[in-house]
Structure 1
Amino acid sequence: MTETWIEAAPLASVPQDDVIAVQVQGREIALYGIDGEVFATDNLCTHGHARLCDGFLDGHEIECPLHQGKFDVRSGAAMCAPLTEAIRAYPVRIEGDKVFLDLG
């Protein structure tokens, strides 16, 4: 499977220790700035379909604003109830001042 890197956002638009939503090829993606790194996942919770960009970022975990379930933004893993299904996490690459994602 080949990687296809798509520009997602300017690096400066990704706040440190916070999350923003961006549109990339018709998908809403959450970008997380954590300890100088950027992580990316789908922006909708798999449980309540709330936007994760409206949630609370604590370290590498994003808390859904609707039912307080948490996902690990590095892997998309569901960390606690009421979540039963992971979210999709995407590889991120930084080139210069731009954030690229592999949505494949």
Structure 2
Amino acid sequence: MPQWIDACATDDIDEEDLIRFDHAGATYAIYHSPEGDFFATSGMCTHEAVHLCDGLVMGHLIECPKHNGQFDYRTGEAKRAPVCVNLKTFPVKVEAGRVLIEVP
């Protein structure tokens, strides 16, 4: 059954940046968009087992630090080779200055 988990404070992530969040053996990436919205994806690149928290955020894209593949973190869509498998995304809500993600 899905549950909402407190991942971080809203001010823990600068705009156009991300942080790593680990919970129950899974790893996630939490993003802060230029518009002030928050998003969550699985934390590992689908091409190789590299954590995206070491990647570069540009607008709505996260670039994997290993082979420079890119994903749209809002939808998880793979945008540039060598990545071709989309990232899993997770619902996000903000309550009282905290970012919560819905995890399985």
TM-score higher than 0.5 here? yes
Residue 77 of structure 2 corresponds to which residue in structure 1?
77
Please list, as runs of the form range in 1=range in 2, the aligned pairs for 1:3-18 lying within 5 A after superposition.
4-18=3-17
The residue that corresponds to 2:101 in the other structure is: 101
| Partner residue in 1 for 2:36 | 36
* Whole-Å separation in 2 of the counterparts to 1:33 and 1:97: 13
Structure 2 counterpart SS, 1:79: strand
Which whole-Å CA distance do the structure 2 matches of 1:88 and 1:10 have between them?
A: 22
Q: Residue 29 of structure 1: CA displacement?
A: 0.9
The unaligned stretches of length 5 or more in structure 2 are none
Structure 1's consecutive aligned runs of 4 or more residues displaced over 4 angstroms after TM superposition are none
How much identity, in percent, do the aligned residues show?
A: 37
CA-atom RMSD in angstroms: 1.3
Structure 1 gap segments, 5+ residues each: none
Q: Report the number of matched residues.
A: 103
In structure 2, C-alpha distance between the alignment counterparts of 1:91 and 1:101, rounded to whole Å: 6
